[in-house]
Amino acid sequence: MNRLPLVLLTALAPIAWGTTYLVTTELLPPGHPLFAGLLRSLPAGLLAVLISRCLPRGGWWGKSFILGALNIGAFFPLLFLAAERLPGGVAAAVAGAQPLIVLVLGALVLQERIRPLAAAAAVVGAGGVALVVLGPAAELDLWGILAAVGGVTATGAGMILTKRWGRPVGVGPVAYAGWQLSAGGLLLLPLTLIVEGVPQTIDGSAVLGYLWLGTAGGIVAYTLWFRGVQQLPVIAPGLLALLSPIVATTLGVVVAGERFSPLQAIGLVLTLGALVLGQLASRPNRRTAAPAPHATAADALTAPR
């Protein structure tokens, strides 16, 4: 698959995730973020497994639960804890540091060389997100900051392990995403029942919200995301993740009528510039590029023709 279409398809995942805040505040019953995370992951994961008719084998049972715990099971509770203790802008600004975390973990675990241009893009992107989402009245809470950092570190580690372990031969991206969504959902199930329980009322708007989170934000987004993580240099999807807070902020302005200051506009331009710069910096040299070490036969079978 050509580089540009792969990048654009992978970018659809954080764009879909950027709608989560608006959907949650406008459509879902309040006070049940873990329940929303559960419905975003477990039904979508089981549906993906049913569609693919493929279960993990051997060591992939353990790997699927590790990846599901990092990308879903650990990330959602930490995300929601941060959201409860921090203003949304502060939590999103902390999430903007994920490309830096991915860059460091990629160098340590995958031995990927840190390119100065990619590092600069990560720094500029984090700064741009901070300008977009942080306001002068932003309040800081130690436990909220630690939860936000823990959440983005968990997903960063999940991204690195996804890259390192690849995908089993003959297993398509839908099944691979389904394993992780199911595992993460199963880990969230007891936590949700113990801490929150089920909302007393689920109206038609909530049903639509849960369907959106489970389809566009669940099975579709994670299938595209994991496929991109496996086939792109690790910093490329790491920077694409910055689209999520940008989309969330933009929707707040367009749909919810929130104000957009000149400083936020500058941050938006910086972040988008960092995204482009990062993709250019992570392009392999055509003279020295080799096939991806974790490419599988399934990639050839699932590539568009």
pLDDT string in tens for the chain (305-residue length) = 578 889 899 999 989 988 887 888 788 888 888 898 899 999 999 999 999 999 999 999 999 999 999 999 888 788 777 766 665 556 666 667 778 788 888 888 887 777 788 788 878 877 877 776 665 555 567 787 788 788 888 988 998 999 899 899 889 999 999 999 999 999 999 999 998 899 998 999 999 999 999 999 999 999 999 999 888 887 788 788 888 877 877 787 777 666 667 777 787 788 778 877 777 766 665 444 434 444 433 333 333 33
Count of beta carbons in the 10 Å neighbourhood of residue 141 = 15
d(CA 234, CA 107) in angstroms, rounded, equals: 10
Contact (Cβ atoms closer than 8 angstroms) between residue 198 and residue 35 = yes
d(CA 204, CA 154) in angstroms, rounded, equals: 33
Total domains in the fold of the chain: 1
- The torsion angles phi and psi of 139, rounded to 5 degrees, stand at -105, 140
pTM listed for this prediction = 0.79
Answer yes or no: is 302 within a domain.
no
Answer yes or no: is 144 within a domain.
yes
For 257, left (φ over 0), alpha (ψ -120 to 50), or beta?
A: left
d(CA 244, CA 11) in angstroms, rounded, equals: 9
> Which two three-digit tokens encode residue 73?
């099971």
Answer yes or no: is 292 within a domain.
no
Answer yes or no: is 266 within a domain.
yes
Instruction: Name the amino acid, one letter, at 222.
Output: Y
Answer yes or no: is 289 within a domain.
no
Its domain, for residue 146, covers 3-284
Q: Which of 279, 231, 239 is nearest to 95 (CA)?
A: 239
Contact (Cβ atoms closer than 8 angstroms) between residue 110 and residue 164 = yes
> Which two three-digit tokens encode residue 74?
């650990």
Answer yes or no: is 255 within a domain.
yes
- The torsion angles phi and psi of 170, rounded to 5 degrees, stand at 90, -5
Answer yes or no: is 65 within a domain.
yes
C-alpha distances out from residue 94 to 47, 98, 139, Å:
32, 8, 13
Task: Please give the pLDDT value at position 141.
Answer: 72
Residues in the chain: 305
Q: How far is CA 5 from the centre of its chain?
A: 19
> Which two three-digit tokens encode residue 70?
């990092």
| R_g over Cα of the chain | 19
DSSP 260: -
Count of beta carbons in the 10 Å neighbourhood of residue 74 = 21
3-state secondary structure of 44: helix
Task: Please give the pLDDT value at position 281.
Answer: 67
Q: In sequence order, what E strands does the chain have?
A: none
Q: To 10 degrees, what angle do helices 33-52 and 204-214 make?
A: 50
Contact (Cβ atoms closer than 8 angstroms) between residue 96 and residue 130 = yes
